[in-house]
A and B are shown apart, each in its own frame.
Chain A
């Protein structure tokens, strides 16, 4: 039912309706928690950037997340504004441009937990000219996408209908107009016949139907009922399958909670 690699997951889902798939999509984007830098204490900053800009840039760095080892700050037992070891990770950064200009990268951040580190080491934060210094302490916390986009575990999560393309073999004379116009190269001509080469790439634009010289068109494009292609592209903070599983869990928890509330 799927294709997947490290960061991407594409599912072919049959037998589910749009509201459910949409609920899943909304949960993936807004409710699945992940780590991001939330508070920054600047100890020394003589760079050209203001403290706030650096803090903002740090916040947007995706951090590899350990969901089982950490609590959401609002659910943590410590109830502290600054958090405890169970709900925040401290990252420190200390760079100085001694000889000539340097660029400070996300890889320069040192984390107290070796599992919570930036997804990529090569995200530039700021450039320092000779003699400039940057020292800071950053607090990363779990959060949800609905509060800030930096806590969104995915860069893309979407679904589309599963296309269905019918070519009427009798009226089609393989003029190839539909092959030429298709922006996604879905169709191809083989042995004097038009055939569907890459069905999943179809965007249902129906250009091929419009361009067909036959009346009625020899090609038909519609979609299958209750079948969806669901794609998730993780930022790298969590594996995509874990993100979807978390979304399922959250949806289940919410529905259960609402059922309990209504019973009362």
Chain B
């Protein structure tokens, strides 16, 4: 996975992520929108044959967009780990 920054200001961030897809982007978008400091979050896959989605985040100014992204990623991982543990527990029964 490789990240290229397309646009960066105080409260805006537009990045290109090589090697990601709907799997991660959709999850990330949802988690970003749950954050009340985020004004706008979305992603687009400009061409369906190239796995290079563009993620766009705009915050309300209190939080830097990259911080919001990392927070969202952290949240997603938390849920994932929680699910993994719950699954293992359920399987042992």
Contacts and interface: CB of A to CB of B under 8 A. Distances in A.
Contact of A258 (B22, B24, B30, B91): B24
A244 B26 contact: no
B27 A248 contact: no
Contact of A252 (B2, B66, B80): B80
A264 B4 CA distance: 11
A23 B1 contact: no
A81 interface: no
A23 B7 CA distance: 27
B84 interface: yes
Residue from B22, B26, B87 having most chain A Cβ neighbours under 10 A: B87
Interface of A: 1-2, 4, 11, 13, 16-20, 22-24, 26-27, 30-31, 241, 244-245, 248-249, 251-252, 254-259, 261-264
B84 A245 contact: yes
Given A255-B76, A258-B3, A20 B27 contact: yes
Interface string B33-44: 000000000000
B70 interface: yes
Contact of B90 (A1, A17, A31, A257): A1
24 contacts: A2-B91, A11-B90, A17-B30, A19-B26, A19-B29, A20-B76, A20-B79, A22-B26, A23-B24, A24-B83, A245-B87, A248-B87, A251-B23, A252-B81, A252-B84, A258-B3, A258-B73, A259-B70, A259-B73, A259-B77, A261-B17, A262-B69, A263-B70, A264-B3
Nearest to B77: A255
Contact of A16 (B3, B22, B31, B83): B83
Nearest to B81: A252
A145 to B, nearest CB: 12
B24 A248 contact: no
